[in-house]
Amino acid sequence: MAAVEVIPVGEAGGRLRIENGTLALTIAPEFLGSAISLERKGEELLRSAYPEARPLCWENPWFGGIQPRLGGITRRDLVRERARVREIQRRGSQGIVWRGVRVSWSPKHEQARHSGLAVDYLLAPGSGILAVALRTTRRADTASWLDAGFDLFPVLGGSPLDAVLTGQPDTRAQRIRCEYGGEVRGNRWVMAENPKAGEAALLAGPGGETGTHGQVYGRDGYFLSAGIGSAHEARETKEAVFFISFTSADGARDLAEALSELKELP
């Protein structure tokens, strides 16, 4: 089984590539701390605007890939804040060793100066599953509400546009790309499926204070989203772990259900 490696790439090693023998994930800390590429056997699985953010439908700027967000400020504000980055290694509750990259912010913006956000991008040896851990911190001596999340822009069967979106609470309710926007609520998991290609992308979380959903932009495509929102005590840090898998449409829902049962890194 291949070990997980974190490799600096690009000019002055400005990007970090996480490889585990199955997936290769590239993080650009200065590009909103987003994941700009996810490759599997040479196939690109993410739709990203890298190297230059641009408008997409109602979003401006749009970064794409896996793009984080922090409640209280816009992405335009967050990208102006200093992003700190470091390699990390974490051992899960079942003894699996995960390695990857942490991107974190302690904003100075007036609307977020008491909030902290860290995003861990993690792979385990040989696994086809990506873990994204969100850590939110109250940086003040009073309690308050904090929320954060990320959006995932999949490419399925070579297309960033064609997919059917399904959410866990009611799998009969589906969204397809059309002239108008719309969403499906996921609660514990949400899935995008390209029926022609027989491929699916799923995003699963533990429920509770977390949630997932799928959003159709209209003709411009779609994305899947995950987030956490809750009251934090003074100086408290909370973490929510989400799992992403690009897999065969057959059995994707069963995998999503299994991953949503995990409350932490296994």
pTM: 0.95
| Residue ranges of domains in the chain | 5-260
Span between the terminal Cα atoms of the chain, in Å? 18
Q: What mean pLDDT do residues 258-265 have?
A: 96
Q: Can you give the pLDDT at residue 171?
A: 67
CATH of the domain spanning 5-260: 2.70.98.10
Q: What confidence tens digit (pLDDT) does each residue in 217-257 have?
A: 888 999 999 999 999 999 999 999 999 999 999 999 999 99
The residue assigned the tokens 């499906």 is 184
Give tens-digit pLDDT for 130-180.
999 999 999 999 999 999 999 999 999 999 988 999 988 776 667 666 667
C-beta of residue 70 within 8 angstroms of C-beta of residue 32: no
Give the separation between CA 27 and CA 46, rounded to whole angstroms: 12
